[in-house]
Amino acid sequence: MGNVKIGALTLRHGLMLAPMAGVTDASFRAICRQAGAEYTVSEMISAKALCFEQKGRDSAPAKTAALATIREADAPMAIQLFGSEPDFMREAALLIEAGSYRGAVKGPAPAAIDINMGCPVAKVVSNGEGSALMRDPTRAAAIVSAVKSAVKLPVTVKIRAGWDEQHKNAVEFAKRMEEAGADLICVHGRTRQQFYAPKSDNGVIAAVKAAVSVPVIGNGDIFTPDDALHMLSDTGCDGVMIARGALGNPFLFTALTARLQNTPYTPPTVRQRIETALAHAADMIEKKGARIGVAEARKHMAWYCHGLRGAAAARGALMHAESLIEFTNILGALVRDEETL
């Protein structure tokens, strides 16, 4: 692991927060950046929806565009597009690069356009999008070259090991994407058929790393600093991307950074953990309004309780909480329980 170059950007360790639709919004990205993630990616954005949104009435809310907003606190950040049609992907990438879409907010430029070739969800793959592209390398390459020839931004791809055990084509596929112009390849070591279990296969990440010359980022099952160090040494990958391991635990980025830099690390106390959780909820409420902010913060609050005494009961209560005050009361009780031990 060393410097990872993405266009003009250099990351010291290549430590990235993975995209998670419905989870890695602006608030969570900012928290992870502050904790040590060097790079973030937007939630996946439908290229077609973004293009169609341009034709809507000016007064209609630009919902897709809102996902592409980049703030100083979450930059450097890539915008991830999904789609299956090269023309829509190119059009959407141009809109993103120019920042000239309906509902655009002025902010830092995107670090890259990332293309989703890993999403396993049925309604996505049934449209030939996400991981379905791994079954159609010619189309996938056409998308990468259409986007690459249209924008100046780096173009990155996020792939899986393959479609299923019989079609683990990540190596040939990655080579095709590199030839088509991909500037970086992130590999999740599972097939589409595996969704999120059993264990991710580092072997496939190592094989991709050996086959291409662009930076390769390893992804899959990093829940501890040791998991990340094993992935790095097993695969020779240039950096790592963390998704589920960061849920309720943005501190993983701090712990991992300390390991990589050989500096001391003190884990947060329960009180500090809960303070982070409540600041997270407060930020979501500020950005999304009370109703949506509280509803979307519930699952995050439950993740922050992981491993604490009384977590199961607290989780049940959190799922019905209606305000930041209720979050504070429920989580505050957990802190008091821990501190009186």
Ligand X SMILES: Cc1cc2nc3c(=O)[nH]c(=O)nc-3n(C[C@H](O)[C@H](O)[C@H](O)COP(=O)(O)O)c2cc1C
Q: Quick check: 215 and 1 in contact, CB under 8 A?
A: no
Largest CA distance in the chain: 62
Stretch that binds ligand X, among 139-147, 214-222, 276-284, 322-330 (CB under 6 A): 214-222
Does 80 participate in binding ligand X (rule CB under 6 A)? yes
What are the start-end ranges of the E strands in 88-183?
113-117, 155-162
Does 140 participate in binding ligand X (rule CB under 6 A)? no
* Min dist. Cβ of residue 188 to ligand X (A): 4
Name residues contacting ligand X, limited to 33-62 (CB under 6 A). 43-44
Active site residue 237: no
Sole binder of ligand X in the list 150, 151, 222, 281 (CB under 6 A)? 222
Quick one: the chain helix, strand, coil %, rounded to 5?
Answer: 50, 15, 35
What is the rounded distance in angstroms from the CA atom of residue 296 to the CA atom of residue 292? 6
Does 148 participate in binding ligand X (rule CB under 6 A)? no
Of 116, 168, 123, nearest in space to 140 by CA: 116
The amino acid that residue 257 corresponds to is T
Does 220 participate in binding ligand X (rule CB under 6 A)? yes
User: Cα angle vertex 67, ends 66, 71, to 5°?
Assistant: 85
The count of residues interacting with ligand X (CB under 6 A) is 22
Does 119 participate in binding ligand X (rule CB under 6 A)? yes
Sole binder of ligand X in the list 221, 238, 283, 296 (CB under 6 A)? 221
Helix (H, G, I), strand (E, B) or coil at 60: coil
CB of 65 or CB of 119, closer to ligand X: 119
- Pattern of binders to ligand X over 11-30, x per CB under 6 A? -------xxxxxx-------
Residue 289 has a CB neighbour count (10 Å cut-off) of 10
- The catalytic residue positions are 119
**Which residues of this protein are in contact with ligand X, per CB under 6 A?**
18-23, 43-44, 80, 116, 118-119, 158, 188, 219-222, 242-245
